[in-house]
Amino acid sequence: MSAVKQIKASARASGGKGAARAVRRTGKIPAVIYGGGEAALPIALDYAQTNRLIYAGHFLTTVFEIDVDGTKVRAIPRDFQLEPVKDTPLHVDFLRLTGSTAIRVVVPIHVSGQEQSPGVKRGGMVQIVEHTLELMAPGDNIPDNIDISVAALNIGGSIHLADITLPAGCKAITRENLTLVAVSTPTKMVEALTSAVAAPAAAAPAKAAPAKG
């Protein structure tokens, strides 16, 4: 599960573009927490902390415990806006998490076991077919990544979606049995096989044309 990170915020009186601009003038970032069967809560975030968290990566799959003037709210970012020229944060939307909340997330695929793979030892190349997997995940068990081991794969072997066990409570959104990772034939081996097939054909004598009577 993604580690829960702490972030501080202060409540703001109202939403709207005018109020958001006023928050930015104070050096903070306007945001809102919505969902969970409660009213939307407009908040203001520290600019430096929020900017750092966004550019640290995995921002949209990180669960936050937001301290809003002493009241803690567990939420996950659903969207954020950046200034089009400077790429500085302008606004963040958070989804409030409850025990029954299921959310759609895109999780990166990490590959391990290359050192043990018999196919890699023979010169095969690990081919990551899908770099991410889209899941429905419970709000309290969002995985950082999906780890797939290729330790048992030989050349030509592959791992499909049906071959892996997803974290508890998670379901893949696609219904297709996607190929996730494969160990492909080395380029030199393909060239050698091609040459071996082509050589006998090139060496065979051409048939003489039939004589004209």
122 and 172 within one domain: yes
130 and 172 within one domain: yes
Q: What amino acid occupies position 104?
A: R
Q: Are 106 and 61 in contact (CB under 8 A)?
A: yes
pTM for the full predicted model: 0.67
Q: What is the CATH number of the domain that holds 176?
A: 2.170.120.20
Q: Is residue 83 one of the residues assigned to a domain?
A: yes
64 and 107 within one domain: no
71 and 9 within one domain: yes
DSSP 34-98: EETTEEEEEEEEEHHHHHHHHHTS-GGG--EEEEETTEEEEEEEEEEEE-TTT--EEEEEEEEP-
147 and 92 within one domain: no
* Euclidean distance between CA atoms 157 and 138, whole angstroms: 32
41 and 57 within one domain: yes
Domain enclosing residue 184, as ranges: 103-193
166 and 149 within one domain: yes
Q: Is residue 29 one of the residues assigned to a domain?
A: yes
21 and 58 within one domain: yes
86 and 135 within one domain: no
Q: What is the CATH number of the domain that holds 38?
A: 2.40.240.10
139 and 75 within one domain: no
pLDDT in tens, the chain (213 residues): 556 899 999 999 776 788 889 999 999 999 999 998 899 999 999 999 999 999 998 898 888 999 999 999 999 999 999 999 999 999 999 999 886 788 888 899 999 999 999 999 999 999 999 999 999 998 878 888 899 999 999 999 999 999 999 999 999 998 889 999 999 988 655 555 455 555 555 555 555 555 555
* Euclidean distance between CA atoms 48 and 89, whole angstroms: 10
Q: Is residue 206 one of the residues assigned to a domain?
A: no
Please count the structural domains in the chain.
Answer: 2
Q: What amino acid occupies position 64?
A: F
pLDDT, residue 186, reads 80
